Amino acid sequence: MEYFSRQISDMIGELSRLPGIGSKSAQRIAFHILHSPKDEVKRLSDTIWSARENVRFCKECYTLTDSELCPICGNPKRNHRQIMVVEDSRDLAAYEKTQKYEGVYHVLHGAISPMQGIGPADIRLKELMLRLQHDVDEVIIATNSSLEGETTAMYIAKLLKPTGILTTRIASGVPVGGDLEYIDEMTLLRALEGRTEL
């Protein structure tokens, strides 16, 4: 890109390293930034850095946050006796958007994957077990419906068995609005196995 001056090329290069941003988008974003008011760009640049600089794990649920407790764990109105186990902070966000779940979370930061060499000790399972020493009514396992997510769910279920705590798994099945014709066999079988009486 020697047709752009060095600093502009550098910015395009850095932007194109972000996930989902190809070279065309990076260029488009870069020129948008170059044409934006300085104070807006300063804010963008500062926000990126300060969020990264101050990020840490919530001491309760291990989601990414910038304070000791995340907004959910710090909220006394949430049901702290119901814990939903998710793979990462974005899964937490997905359930929060439903605006119906009132419990708290536990973020594993990964899933067990023998293929990728990720074992139980590599995700926040020890931390989950420590939390269960306090009063907990239910652990809802909401890991992804992938091979790794299912393996992790099975592992946690086995781990929790001796504690006697109610352990549940979110349902697998046909997505709402889904057209059966286009849904894979595994999902169709899961939906059949998980059928409920009407």
CB of 160 to a second copy, least distance (A): 25
**Per-residue contact string for residues 7-36; x = within reach of a second copy by CB under 8 A:** xx-xx--xx-xxxxx---x-xxxxxxxx-x
Nearer to a second copy, 42 or 161 (CB): 42
- Residue 92 interacts with a second copy (CB under 8 A): yes or no: yes
- Residue 5 interacts with a second copy (CB under 8 A): yes or no: yes
Cα–Cα dist 154/169, whole Å: 9
Neighbours of 112 (CB within 10 A): 24
The CA-based angle 77-81-69, given to 5 degrees, is 60
Nearer to a second copy, 67 or 146 (CB): 67
CB of 93 to a second copy, least distance (A): 6
- Judging by beta carbons within 10 Å of its beta carbon (0-12, 13-18, 19+), is residue 18 exposed, middle or buried? exposed
Q: Identify whether the C-beta of residue 108 lies closer than 8 Å to the C-beta of residue 90.
A: no
Q: Identify whether the C-beta of residue 30 lies closer than 8 Å to the C-beta of residue 5.
A: no
Q: Which residue, among 99, 107, 190, 95, has the nearest Cα to 145 in the 3D structure?
A: 190
Residues 68-87 contacting a second copy, CB under 8 A: 70-72
Count of residues near a second copy by CB under 8 A: 56
**Per-residue contact string for residues 127-156; x = within reach of a second copy by CB under 8 A:** ------------------------------
What is the separation of C-alpha 198 from the centre of its chain, rounded to a whole number of angstroms? 33
Residues 105-124 contacting a second copy, CB under 8 A: none
Nearer to a second copy, 73 or 128 (CB): 73
Among 54, 146, 163, 168, binds a second copy (CB under 8 A): 54
Helix (H), strand (E) at residue 79: strand 79-86
Read off the tokens for 161.
């068995």
Site residues, a second copy (CB under 8 A): 1-8, 10-11, 14-15, 17-21, 25, 27-34, 36, 38, 41-55, 64-67, 70-72, 88-90, 92-93, 96
